[in-house]
Amino acid sequence: RTLDTVSHRRRGWRELHSQPDSFGQFGARRVGSYVSMATLRYFDCRGRAEPLCYMLEDWEVLYRAEVVQAGQPQWVDQRNMSSFAGPFGQLPVLEWEDKENQELRTVVQTISIAQYLSFKVDPVLKDKGLDAEQITKALSYGCCAYEDLLLKIFDAVRDPNTAVRVFGVNVPKVLERFNELLSVMEERVFDMQQAGGAPPGA
C-alpha cells in the first residue's frame, strides 16, 4: 500500500503514482467554521478515483491518499474490514474528520463521495443551492455508462479468448449507449443552467 500526502497543487496521475512509498502527515484545511481532515482510500487503477483526487486538489484540500495495489493478497482480508473498505467491502472510501463536532464520517462509492465533497467544500454549489437529486442523476448517467464500458474491457484483458466478442460486438453496443446517455446528461446540465444553477464540476 502506498501512502502519500497530496499537496493542493494539481498533479498528473503519472506524477502522483511514480513517487516512492512514503508516510505523510494529515493535511488540514479550514472549511467553513471548522478544520477537516480527509483520507481517500482507492485502488491504483487509473480513472477510478482520479476525479475525486482532482476535486480535492482543485479545492486545495490537503488529504491523505491511501493507494491500494490492485490484486494484492492482503485485500482478501482488508475487504472484510469495515474500517478499511467500508460496509460494502469496496473502494474508494473517503474518511472525513469533522474536528468541530468530533465526528469521523465514512463515505463510500464514487458518486456518493463526489456529491458529499461538493456540498462540503464547493462554495459554488452551496451558494446556488442546486437540487441534490439533479446532480446525482447527472453523475449516475455518466458513471454507469463509463463502468459498463470499463468492466467489459477489463474482462477482455483478463481473458483473451473473449476479446473478439467483447471488442467486436459488446463494446460497440456500449459505446452507442454511452453516446445516448451523454446526450441525456447534456440535457440535464442544460436544464440546470436554465434554472440558474451550474453544472457539476463547473
Give dist(CA 51, CA 59) in Å, integer: 12
Q: How many CB atoms lie within 10 A of CB 152?
A: 18
Which of 121, 146, 162 is the C-terminal boundary of a domain?
A: 121
Do both 73 and 150 map to the same domain? Answer: no
Per-residue pLDDT tens over the stretch 133-155 = 666 666 666 565 556 666 666 66
- Is residue 20 assigned to a domain? yes
Per-residue pLDDT tens over the stretch 77-120 = 888 888 898 888 889 999 988 766 777 888 888 878 887 887 77
Nearest by Cα to 111 from 200, 8, 43: 200
Do both 32 and 107 map to the same domain? Answer: yes
Do both 102 and 167 map to the same domain? Answer: no
Do both 42 and 136 map to the same domain? Answer: no
Question: What range defines the domain where residue 173 resides?
Answer: 132-194
Which residue's C-alpha cell is 493542493?
8
Do both 40 and 74 map to the same domain? Answer: yes
Using alpha carbons, list the distances in angstroms from residue 32 to 40, 78, 117, 193. 20, 34, 13, 26
- Is residue 90 assigned to a domain? yes
User: Is beta strand 63-68 parallel, antiparallel or unpaired with respect to 34-43?
Assistant: parallel
Chain-centroid distance of CA 38 in Å reads: 14
pTM: 0.53
- The count of structural domains within the chain is 2
* Predicted local confidence at residue 93, as pLDDT: 92
Do both 54 and 149 map to the same domain? Answer: no
Do both 52 and 148 map to the same domain? Answer: no
Q: Which helix (H) or strand (E) holds 39?
A: strand 34-43
Burial (CB < 10 A; 0-12, 13-18, 19+), residue 53, is: buried
Do both 13 and 54 map to the same domain? Answer: yes
